[in-house]
């Protein structure tokens, strides 16, 4: 696996692959890789000739008081995992390489960025949209692979690509879970032993909510019941919402394609998860 740290090095390698007519897939990450990330790399290998992975902890998507400085950075271990997963190139830029000369341009994806996580993390999705656009411009991939765990992030990126006519196909990959159902996340390492035993109940609440939806129960009742249950066992709920799968607006009972989105703090980490389905 080749490692590069500058945009010029990255573009030189991409240019060589393009001359050979090779198809390029891109997996953007913030590092501290787990099995969920490796699943994205494996999907990229299925769909393209060459796989580029970036590791970049993006400062513009962290708000005041969030964990940018303490976000886990495990570059050596990550490189070993990417070599085993047969990634072709690792792009490992500095903050200055991504944001030279105090760059001030940003991208906002309208109302979609202000819902759910956007309402609780002001400016978060502007930071995501901006850095992903920059990375797309640097890599210029044919395909980009994202996990479905952050369903809203995936929706924001798809909308951004559509609106800006960016020539990249966005592929979502199903959430990778621990054996007890907890969605894999780099932030799960912040959980204490007791919190770790409680954390899977977020996904259990989502599954119970899905079952209640399919049985015809009123959405508001379902949402409130699950919020109350989760709060009783130690979660601090940001939202637990039954939404339209296409635009993430709150859904009515006659909607067919649905996603249930949840975010809650449990101790230090903020956990997010979702479940999407059709009635």
3-class DSSP assignment, residue 24: strand
Alpha-carbon gap, residue 152 to 112, rounded angstroms: 8
Are 127 and 64 in contact, with CB atoms under 8 Å apart?
A: no
Q: Strand 270-278 vs strand 257-265: parallel, antiparallel, or unpaired?
A: antiparallel
Alpha-carbon gap, residue 227 to 238, rounded angstroms: 9
Residue 120 falls in the annotated catalytic set: no
Give the DSSP letter of residue 186: G
CATH superfamily placement of domain 2-173:
HUPs (3.40.50.620)
**160-191 confidence digits (pLDDT tens):** 999 999 999 999 999 999 999 999 999 999 99
Alpha-carbon gap, residue 162 to 92, rounded angstroms: 27
- 186-274 fold: 3.30.1300
Are 230 and 201 in contact, with CB atoms under 8 Å apart?
A: yes
257 pLDDT higher than 90: yes
Mean pLDDT of the chain: 97
- pTM equals 0.95
Give every strand in the sheet of 50-55, ordered side by side: 2-4, 89-91, 50-55, 24-29, 143-147, 169-173
Q: What is the pLDDT, as a whole number, of residue 67?
A: 86
Are 7 and 47 in contact, with CB atoms under 8 Å apart?
A: no
Distances (CA, A) of 133 to 3, 43, 126: 21, 21, 11
Q: pLDDT confidence of 251, banded at 50, 70, 90? A: very high
Alpha-carbon gap, residue 144 to 53, rounded angstroms: 10
Are 226 and 233 in contact, with CB atoms under 8 Å apart?
A: no
Q: What is the pLDDT, as a whole number, of residue 101?
A: 87
Q: Which residue is listed with tokens 């998507």? A: 61
Question: What residue segments make up the domains of the chain, in order of their start?
Answer: 2-173, 186-274
What integer is the mean pLDDT of 66-89? 95
**110-141 confidence digits (pLDDT tens):** 999 999 999 999 999 999 999 999 999 999 99
Non-local (6+) Cβ contacts of 160 within 8 A are: 107, 109, 129, 132, 133, 166
3-class DSSP assignment, residue 65: coil
**22-72 confidence digits (pLDDT tens):** 999 999 999 999 999 999 999 999 999 999 999 999 999 998 888 899 899
| R_g of the chain, CA atoms, integer Å | 19
Task: Identify the active-site residue in 34, 37, 116, 120.
Answer: 37
Are 84 and 70 in contact, with CB atoms under 8 Å apart?
A: no
């Amino acid at each position: 696996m080749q490692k590069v740290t500058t945009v010029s090095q990255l573009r030189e390698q991409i240019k060589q692959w393009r001359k050979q007519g090779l198809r390029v897939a891109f997996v953007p990450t913030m590092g501290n890789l787990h099995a969920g990330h490796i699943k994205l790399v494996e999907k990229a290998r299925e769909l393209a000739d060459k796989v580029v992975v970036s590791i970049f902890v993006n400062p513009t998507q962290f708000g005041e008081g969030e964990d940018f400085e303490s976000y886990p950075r495990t570059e050596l271990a990550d490189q070993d995992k990417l070599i085993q997963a047969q990634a072709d190139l690792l792009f490992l830029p500095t903050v200055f390489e991504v944001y030279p000369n105090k760059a001030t341009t940003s991208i906002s994806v309208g109302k979609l960025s202000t819902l759910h996580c956007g309402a609780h993390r002001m400016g978060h999705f502007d930071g995501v949209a901006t850095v992903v656009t920059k990375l797309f411009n640097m890599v210029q991939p044919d395909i980009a692979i994202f996990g479905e765990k952050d369903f809203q992030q995936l929706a924001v990126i798809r909308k951004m690509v559509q609106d800006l006519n960016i020539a990249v196909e966005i592929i979502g990959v199903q959430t990778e879970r621990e054996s007890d159902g907890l969605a894999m996340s780099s932030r799960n390492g912040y959980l204490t032993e007791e919190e770790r035993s409680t954390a899977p109940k977020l996904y259990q609440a989502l599954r119970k909510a899905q079952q209640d939806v399919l049985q015809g129960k009123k959405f508001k009742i379902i949402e409130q019941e699950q919020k109350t249950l989760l709060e009783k066992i130690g979660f601090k709920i940001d939202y637990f919402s039954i939404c339209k799968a296409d635009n993430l607006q709150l859904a009515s009972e006659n909607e067919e394609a649905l996603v249930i989105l949840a975010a809650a703090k449990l101790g230090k980490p903020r956990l997010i998860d979702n479940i999407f389905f059709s009635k």
